[in-house]
Amino acid sequence: MTNVKKLFSWEDTTLAVLVFLWVAIGGGITVLHLYTVGFMGLILLVGLSKGLWPALARTAILSAVMLLTGRFKTVPHMIHLANVASMMSCAVLAGFLGDRQRKAQEALKRSFSETLEGLARVLEARDPYTQGHSMRASEIALMIAQGMEVDKKAQLAIQQAGILHDLGKIGTPDGILRKNESLTLAEKKTMHEHPVIGHQILKGIGFLQEAAVLVRHHHERYDGSGYPDGLAGSAIPLGARILAVADALDALTTDRPYHKAISYDEAVQELAKEAGRQFDPVVFDALKRCYRSPST
Is residue 149 left, alpha or beta, with left meaning phi > 0 and alpha meaning psi from -120 to 50? left
- pLDDT tens for the chain, 296 residues long, are 444 444 345 455 455 445 544 444 444 444 445 455 556 556 555 555 666 666 666 666 666 666 655 554 555 665 656 666 666 666 666 666 666 767 776 776 777 767 777 777 777 777 766 778 888 999 999 999 999 999 999 999 999 999 999 989 888 888 888 888 888 999 999 999 999 999 998 898 888 899 999 999 999 999 999 999 999 999 999 999 999 999 999 999 988 777 788 999 999 999 999 999 999 999 999 999 987 665 54
Are 141 and 96 contained in the same domain? no
- 55 inside domain: yes
Cβ-count burial of 88 within 10 angstroms (0-12 exposed, 13-18 middle, 19+ buried)?
A: middle
- Of 39, 70, 103, the residue that ends a domain is 103
Q: Which domain holds residue 23?
A: 2-103
Last residue of one domain, picked from the residues 70, 103, 136: 103
The answer to whether residues 167 and 46 belong to one domain is: no
- The verdict on residue 155 lying in a domain is yes
Per-position b or e across 210-219, b if 16+ CB within 10 A of its CB: bbbbbbbbbb
Residue 267 one-letter amino acid: A
What residues contact 1, with CB distance under 8 A and at least 6 apart?
Answer: none
160 and 79 belong to one structural domain? no
Residue 240 lies in a domain: yes
Give domain status of residue 116, yes or no: no
50, part of any domain? yes
Question: Do 69 and 206 sit in the same domain of this protein?
Answer: no
Pair 158, 246 in one domain: yes
| One domain, residues 89 and 145 | no
Residues 132 and 215 in one domain: yes
Report whether 146 contacts 159 (CB < 8 A).
Answer: no
| CATH number where 258 lies | 1.10.3210.10
Instruction: Mark whether 146 and 267 lie in a shared domain.
Output: yes
Confidence (pTM): 0.65
C-alpha distances in Å from residue 142, one per residue of 88, 149, 159? 42, 10, 6
Q: Which residues contact 208 (CB under 8 A, 6 or more apart)?
A: 160, 164, 202
Query: Does a structural domain hold residue 117?
Result: no
Closest-CA residue to 64 (of 56, 75, 73): 56
In a domain, 181, yes or no: yes
Instruction: Let me know whether 176 and 223 are in one domain.
Output: yes
What is the spatial distance between Cα 133 and Cα 127, in angstroms, rounded to a whole number?
A: 11
For residues 173 and 286, state if they share a domain. Answer: yes
The total number of structural domains in the chain stands at: 2
CA torsion, ordered 238, 243, 245, 251, to nearest 10 deg: -170
Residue 30 shares a structural domain with residue 80: yes
pLDDT in tens, 122-175: 777 777 667 788 889 999 999 999 999 999 999 999 999 999 999 898 888 888
- Whether 79 and 197 map to the same domain: the answer is no
CB 92 within 8 A of CB 56: yes
Q: Give a yes or no: residue 266 inside a domain.
A: yes
